[in-house]
Amino acid sequence: MKLLSFGVGDYTSIGALIGDDVLDLNAAFNTSLGGAFIDRTEPCGFDMLFFLDLGDKGIDEAGKALLKVEKLIGEGDAGDLRQEGVLRKVTDVRLLAPIPRPRKNMVCLGLNYADHVAEGARHREQQRPLPQYPIYFTKPPSAVIGPYDDIVYPKATEMLDYEVELALIIGKEGKYIQEEEVYDHIVGYTIFNDVSARDLQRQHGQWYKGKSCDTFAPMGPYLVTSDEVGDSQNLDMWLKVNGETRQNSNTENMIFDIKKIVSTLSTGITLEVGDVIATGTPSGVGSAHPSGLLNVGDVVEIWIEKIGKIENRVVGEN
């Protein structure tokens, strides 16, 4: 299932993709398409975090609603759903990040592809061994933007860079998670661009400042559930700038696989529902690529197999 957050004017909701349509899950659960299984303390709708908190029950009910709508569409009997706004064309909505405002800082992996480690070493003309343990850093929720929103080139940097990454979403809380249990705690996956200010990284001697400016975490277009993604450790991915391929790899090339990333992170730290964990980037980043870093006006496209594509334009800061 492809879950998404979207907006139409001032209205925001979450939905599930059906071909070229979006099923509004808030609207669906208030009709005969859904059950009254959600205890609401307020009449307002719920967001992706609320939905994920429902666990398997929420996913199951959304799946049932999807099946009913697919049948109605197949029978040519979905007109009332469109009139009521329960079913909308995906082109008529604005896609937001699947989780527009994570509860806490997003966790990212540094140096998790051997070819990226090597290109960084060549760029600095020094050797760098592969890390022995996963290297974690964070980005704040304020960095998140949607799959087609603009990346703002901040005045604070002169070295803006890109990084294609697969991100996983935690769907079941856990601590000291064993590697063999990791996939039981993952609800799905999304595309993540770890936008970076390379000069700020170097100036401050750590990565948080250079990775955390506003708009530095484009995500989307969907949260694709684990059952639909299948083997997340074997997904092709690429990144293009103005149509030129800059990064091209597969998630099988990670140094630390998803099981190791999640299990190690959860040692002593409780992972909560809705947590976003980005898994690192392969070679081809702008600071090491012949075509160089990003400029105002550039368009960055990222595609990951079974998830989709995001596209963000770089604009100047006002």
Helix (H) or strand (E) holding 164: strand 164-170
What DSSP letter does each residue of 177-239 carry, written as one string? Answer: --GGGGGGGEEEEEEEE--EEHHHHHHHTSSHHHH-STT-EEEEEEEEEHHHH--TTS-EEEE
Architecture per CATH, domain 106-316, reads as: Alpha-Beta Complex (3.90)
Using only C-alpha atoms, the chain has a radius of gyration, in whole angstroms, of 20
For 102-158, the pLDDT digits (tens) are 999 999 999 999 998 988 756 565 677 899 999 999 999 999 999 999 999 999 999
CA dist., res. 261 & res. 148, Å (int)? 28
Instruction: Name 25's bridge partners.
Output: none
Domain positions in the chain are 2-96, 106-316
> For residue 150, what are its two tokens?
């603009």
* CATH number for region 2-96: 2.30.30.230
The DSSP symbol for 311 reads: E
C-alpha to C-alpha distances, 23 to 14, 17, 42, 58, 241, nearest whole angstrom:
8, 6, 22, 14, 32
Q: Does the bond joining 221 to the residue before it have cis omega, within 30 degrees of 0?
A: yes
For 209-251, the pLDDT digits (tens) are 999 999 999 999 999 999 999 999 999 999 999 999 999 999 9
